[in-house]
Structure 1
Amino acid sequence: MGMSINTNLSALNTYRNLNATQNDLSKSLEKLSTGLRINRAADDASGLTISEGLKSQVGGLTVAARNAQDGISVVQTAEGGLTETHSILQRMRDLAVQAGNDSNNADSRQAISTEVSQLTDELKRISSSTNFNGISLLDGKNPSLKFQVGANGDANSQIEVNLAGADISKITTALNSATTSGGTFFKIDDVTAITAGTQQFTATKGGDVSTVTTAALGTFTSVDSYAAALNKDAAFSDNFTATVVKDADGKATGINVRSLNGGAVGVTAPNAGVAAGDNTAGVTTGVKFDTAAHAQAAISLIDDQIKSVSTARANLGAIQNRFDHAINVTNVAKENLTAAGSRITDVDMAQEMVKYTRDNILSQAGTSMLAQANQSTQGVLSLLR
């Protein structure tokens, strides 16, 4: 190879290698300072795509876990109101049992009625005041609430909380003693015959007609069980309310069906053993304690409300357990997805430090060799003397 001074190939080669070493050193410094293996798409294009998808899932699961915890708070708030409702109804039942004794005079029965009236007012207050973040829970205005407990936009990522059974306003309506119009008395001679057929109730008011057809709701052994089944049926309870009518001996003789819109009530194709009676007579609903018979009727009515609240509380308890499991599943998924993302994006500090040390030594050596390469052409000057 001839001696030349215009082109120093040794210096150019050394410079090129030094540049490559400096680039690697710069990348190592960046990774060591951020702790990330992927700092830009060029570092790992496919890895970036996967890691960003995992990041979305982890972020969504984090929020979903908070949502589920909020769901538990909502359920606990609602159950708190129902717990006190249970206590109030139990006290009412005790008073009803006390009122069933004819050792009570008129003043005693009036005192019992006064306390029950105050307890009913408290139920109204609980119904209207129990809310979470301004959302009413026990007054029937929000029969169901949905909670996003997953990171995706599908139905499996939501849990629906049914609060229809936790409507305390219905309990206060049932307990309030009042004479209402628009009810129709249906005399029931054979309650077992109702199971075999379909009852169709129609309410008419001001030209508006609401028709509800109730299919067989089960096997009935008493008028009370038939009335309870009607009131639990969503289609019926949205338009009507059924009250058991008893004679002086406390024996159930039929039901009084009243339309919620105050209209006249009719029935088509009545079942065997059911006969429609007077549609114009008023009916006394709610609890009364002026006689032993009325006190016994109040006990049955209050028992129905206690069962209703028990069912609602059991449902809320089951939903709370479901939220707990949803949080556990979400946290496990979040942990696993975070680990997967870490394996893709996080840098191995020890391995990268080894690479950085190597590149640092190569950089120093390259700089030194570049200086030597630049001096290699100095020998030409001795030829010019």
Structure 2
Amino acid sequence: MALTVLNNIASLTAENALSNTQMNLQKTLTQLSTGLKINSGSDDPAGLSIANGLQANIAALTQSQQNASNGIGMLQTADGALSQVTTLLNRATTLATEASTSNVTSTQATALNTEFASILSEVNQIGNSTNFNGQNVFSSNTPTSFTSTQASLATSTQLTSGSVTTITDSATGGTFVFKAGASSTVQDLQNAVTAAVSAGTLSAGTTATLTGAGALKIGPNTGTTGISVSSNDSVLGPMEAAAGTSNTNTVYIGDGTTTGAANTTITTTINSLSATSLGLNSDNLSSTAAAQTALADVTAAINTVAAQRGTIGASVNRLTAASSVMSSQVQNLTSAENSVQNADVGKTVANMTQYNILQSTGMAALQQSNQAQQAVLKLVQ
């Protein structure tokens, strides 16, 4: 091998090896300090892509588990309320059965009817006040419109003299009262409602219109709590309330990669809860015949509530099962992400020891290579 002074090849080789060793040592120390095998895209591009995808799946599933938990909470709240309604309806059955017999005195019948009416009011109260996370569980339970039971009406149809039609509006706090005169017609009632809206007694948008079948429909109300309409006019007949809207409870349980509502959502329809929606709003125990009619309606209402509770229970079971599946998925995906992303501490410590030794030997080798080059100077002394 020739002796030269212009280039120290041995020194360059030692310096390059030492640089690589220090780079690997720095990478190893970073892995130990973060606990991660992949700290940048250059460490393992494919591995980083896989790890990030797994992390996204885990995040979506973790939130979907929370969604399922919230959905179960809402459904259990509804089921608890319906359980109380069932208890009330069972009491109503007892009252209707007792009132159906003819040996009940008028005083007793009045007491039975009063308690029956209070039960219906309590059913309405439960429907309106049962909330979860600030939202009504049974959606809109207060009717927004009322329709006369008598149809084939016209604007010129004459109303019963002395009859009273009353509209209370809880949004405005106003009460509208129309007392029919000897020549009052449906048109007069409609005009009076329009005037009450202009005066602010009734909410803006409230109207009295005739349907295609000729029934008088009063509503809708733009207020948040709806209106209440009653009339003793035999021409109009009792005013029937439109049932409130149902609540569709949709829980998203996707993992971020699955598509399609059938695979990512669980939907439960919670029917509106009120005496009207249960078909009890016109029932009373004022006579044995009325009590027997009410008994049949209450029995049907109990079956309706039982069916709703069955639907809710099935959805609770499905959400519970979905939550268990997602929990298992999160566990398995986390394990897979750990194997890709996390550093093997034992192996990393062994690498650090190796690079520390190589760094020491590299330093020594670089020092020796520089000293060897200086030995050439002795030849020219």
Relative to the length of structure 1, the TM-score reads 0.68
Shift of 1:136: 2.0
Residue among 310, 321, 325 paired with 1:325: 321
Q: Which amino acid aligns with 2:68?
A: A
The offset of 1:327, in angstroms, is: 0.1
Find 1:368's aligned residue among 342, 359, 364. Answer: 364
Q: Percent identity?
A: 33
CA 1:170 to 1:143, structure 2 compared with 1: closer, same or farther past 3 Å?
farther
Q: CA deviation at 1:53?
A: 1.2
Q: Distance in 1 between matches of 2:365 and 2:277?
A: 95
Residue number in structure 2 paired with 1:238: none
Aligned position for 1:154: 260
| Cα distance in structure 2, aligned partners of 1:369 and 1:375 | 10
Once the two structures are TM-superposed, the CA of residue 170 in structure 1 deviates from its matched residue by: 5.1
**What secondary structure is seen at the aligned counterpart in 2 of 1:174?**
coil
Contact 1:29-1:356 within 8 A present in 2 as well: yes
- On the 8 A contact 1:136/1:142 being kept in 2, the answer is no
Map residues 241-256 of structure 1 onto 2, 5 A cutoff.
none
More strand as a share of residues: 1
* Cα 1:46–1:25 shift into 2, 3 Å: same
Verify the 8 A CA contact 2:71 2:249 in the aligned structure 1: no
Gaps of 5+ in 1: 178-285
RMSD: 1.6
Identify the residue that residue 344 of structure 2 maps to in structure 1: 348
The question of whether the paired residues in 2 share the 8 Å contact of 1:47 and 1:344 is answered with yes
Q: C-alpha displacement at 1:133, in angstroms? A: 2.2
Counterpart Cα distance in 2 of 1:103 and 1:372? 122
User: Relative to 1, partners in 2 of residues 1:292 and 1:170: Cα closer, same or farther, differing over 3 Å?
Assistant: closer
Runs of 4+ aligned residues of structure 1 deviating over 6 Å after TM superposition are: none
SS in structure 2 at match of 1:41: coil
Query: How much does 1:384 deviate?
Result: 3.4
Residue 348 of structure 1 deviates from its aligned partner by: 1.0
Of the three residues 280, 301, 304, the one matched with 1:175 is 280
Higher helix proportion:
1
Q: 1:328 to 1:23 in 2, by over 3 A?
A: same
Q: Match of 2:110, as an amino acid? A: Q
CA contact (8 A) 1:120 1:172 kept: no
- 1:357 pairs with 353, 356, 376, which one? 353
Alignment map for 1:281-360 (pairs within 5 Å) = 286=283, 288-360=284-356
Report the TM-score, using the length of structure 2 for normalisation.
0.69
What are the residue-to-residue correspondences of 1:176-191 with 2, within 5 Å?
176-177=281-282
Q: Encode CA deviations 1:345-375: one digit per residue, 9 max, x unaligned.
A: 1111111111111011000110011111111
Map Cα deviations across residues 21-66 of structure 1 (whole Å, 9 max, x no partner): 1111111111111111111111111111111111111110000000
Q: Which runs of 5+ in 2 are unaligned?
A: 142-243
Q: Are residues 1:22 and 2:45 paired? A: no
Rounded to whole Å, the distance in 1 between the matches of 2:246 and 2:52 is: 38
Over residues 308-330 of structure 1, what are the superposed CA-to-partner deviations in whole Å (9 max), with x where a residue is unaligned?
00000111011101110010011
Find the counterpart in structure 2 of residue 74 from structure 1.
74
